Amino acid sequence: MFDSYHWKVLLFTHTGELREPFTPLTNEEENVVDSALDGANSREELVTHESSNIVITREILQCLRYGAWLNDEVINLYLELLKERERSQPNKFLKCQFFNTFFNKKLISGSNGYDFKAVRRWTTQRKLGYSLIECDKIFVPIHKEIHWCLAVVDVKDKKFQYLDSLGGIDIMVLRVLARYLMDEVKDKNAKQIDTSSRKQEVVDNLPLQKKNGWDCGMFMLKYADFYSRGLSLSFKQDDMTYFRRRTAKEILQLRAE
């Protein structure tokens, strides 16, 4: 019997649009993931991502097991891999900026809930090699105590989006990012832009997390993955077990596909 992602591989083989996001793991890849998710020797270092200095130990990778909440290390490394994927195939993927899980915490760390200076050096030309207004989309992970959401600055279509797998709403996040984009463009590009009239959208036609409380981080990563491909969010919660194992595979090979 085929599960949901196997059916999608069959249905979209001819169009190619959705084939890659749902490609099943080979038997060999399944065995590698099973071995890595074995909790024995938890301090063993499985992979090190040199440019970000993120080290994934066997213990850290356990967050990709069924029933676990994703941690900062796995989320941040996966986002790094999405950026590297884009750089290696710029004609295939949208030009994006993937901020890590600490960016929003720094941005809202000021006494008034906003501190541009705290993140000003995150986006220098020397660090990125481009300015944010050259991007199609900017992804910002949002952590709400025990829940992950995603904010998207859609530079190309001039709007701000908030995606919450539990259907939550937080317009303040979008207002902060609207202010940030104005300050960022003024600082890095010496231009004045007005974001006050840009649409601030809580996306409601998105796959929702209805069956448990721990898949929010995986939903967040897949929102970013699919959007960076220019795809609609054509997955559901039943795909999360597959996505967890696929993410483990991609982290172990230090390459997002």
Active site residues: 147, 164, 216
Report the alpha-carbon angle 94-225-254, nearest 5.
Answer: 100
CA angle 173, 174, 180 (to 5 degrees): 95
Is residue 81 within 8 A of residue 246, CB to CB? The reply is no
> In 37-102, which residue ranges form alpha helices assigned H by DSSP?
58-61, 72-88
Q: What are the phi and psi torsion angles at 161 (to 5°)?
A: -125, 145
Distance CA 133, CA 185 (A): 7
Cα Rg, the chain, nearest whole Å:
18
Question: Residue 238 has which token pair?
Answer: 């039943």
Q: What is the 3-class SS of 115-148, one letter each residue? A: CHHHCHHHHCHHHHCCCHHHCCEEEEEEEECCEE
CB 26 within 8 A of CB 18: no
8 Å CB contact between 252 and 46: yes
Calpha distance 153→160 (Å, rounded)? 5
The Cα–Cα gap between 62 and 70 comes to 9
Calpha distance 241→202 (Å, rounded): 26
* CA 34 to chain centroid: 24
| Amino acid making up residue 5 | Y
